[in-house]
Structure 1
């Protein structure tokens, strides 16, 4: 019997209010982000959950609290699943290219926006995923980050560390059934907007937000 893993990106946040970057470690959900989480809560209300995990950062903890409102589900914080860490954006030689090519490294030794190396990021996320698989659960919800979900799905589907060209929107839900051969049942379902209006990637949208005065 396959186990079911729900992978949910946190709701919308504003990393660049008035075009000025704020620390991603402390940023919380926008009002729209809270509404997105409420839509996921309604969708998952009847889904059985043995365990729910957030990454210890406010945006994932807040999203999970909204999704689980009124439900008694064990909750744990796993900081190993925190997002890949950027560097100082003002020090990037070509910031537009860095944003647009993020999560498409030619080599895993490259750095994400001048910060954490992709290889180091995968070296903390993937072993945590393997430890998670050793736990006894049938249905689990992990509220994490776009890069983390890309990494986990890519590893589950290919068996190799890296990043498939997958988009993950705010409160985008993926359903991965785990057995001898993992099955991706659903990817990037956004209950608040079933047919996304944007054609921008997440990183393209973040670049536009960063460069706006």
Structure 2
């Protein structure tokens, strides 16, 4: 019988750079007050579930989100640097428009083929795929048959979902992922996963 592991993937709450449309990457930008309220809304939604472990990227916006989610469960959060957002290098702090204006052809090439194009002083998407795949495999191994919450970043969650479903990750930006959205994957061992929920934000809607 296959042991199932359910992973709740949560994108961190909003930051000032999110609100301003700036690329964050490895820049350690904290949650805004709105981002904290968003995380508390999701924490309330998840408060009655049995959750066996909490993991997070080691960047503060994800760490704080995970801490808010873990609080009702009195859970410990484990930080994994492998779950960091894409390192956008020299693009961090810039908007999409500013990147396109400053990096022209390279920007166009990256959006068309992010798996292989290296961002100046940053990463290619393939490097992100490799580290995220290792992180998820480790979580599945350690928590076989359990339910785990993972607080991470938009690019990271797109990569994890795309890899699980066998998608062409050169198109990963076509997966919309909102702040404090909930995405659920059920793993039947490390090689097979079923997507149960994607980018759900019903906890943010007014009651």
Per-residue CA distance 1:72-104 (angstroms, 9 max, x = gap): 223211111100011223795635979x96985
Please state how far the C-alpha of 1:30 moved relative to its aligned partner.
Answer: 0.8
Runs of 4+ in 1 over 4 A off after TM superposition: 16-24, 90-93, 95-98, 100-104, 159-163
Q: Which residue pairs with 2:202 in the alignment?
A: 191
Q: Which residue pairs with 2:85 in the alignment?
A: 83
TM-score, normalised with respect to structure 2: 0.79
Please state how far the C-alpha of 1:136 moved relative to its aligned partner.
Answer: 2.8
Per-residue CA distance 1:44-96 (angstroms, 9 max, x = gap): 01111111001111101111111222322232111111000112237956359
> In 2, distance between residues paired with 1:102 and 1:28?
30
> Which of 113, 133, 138 is the matching residue for 1:131?
138
Stretches of structure 2 that go unaligned for 5 or more consecutive residues are none
Distance 1:116 1:150, change over 3 A: same
Give the structure with the higher percent helix: 2
Please state how far the C-alpha of 1:26 moved relative to its aligned partner.
Answer: 2.2
Per-residue CA distance 1:124-175 (angstroms, 9 max, x = gap): 2212222222113410000000000000001111177655421111001101
Q: Which residue pairs with 2:54 in the alignment?
A: 52
Q: Which residue pairs with 1:153 in the alignment?
A: 161
RMSD of aligned C-alpha atoms?
3.3
Please state how far the C-alpha of 1:27 moved relative to its aligned partner.
Answer: 1.0
> In 2, distance between residues paired with 1:21 and 1:153?
21
Work out whether 1:176 is the aligned partner of 2:176.
no
> In 1, distance between residues paired with 2:147 and 2:109?
31
Aligned runs of 1:31-42 on 2, under 5 Å?
A: 31-42=33-44
Secondary structure of 1:76's aligned partner: strand
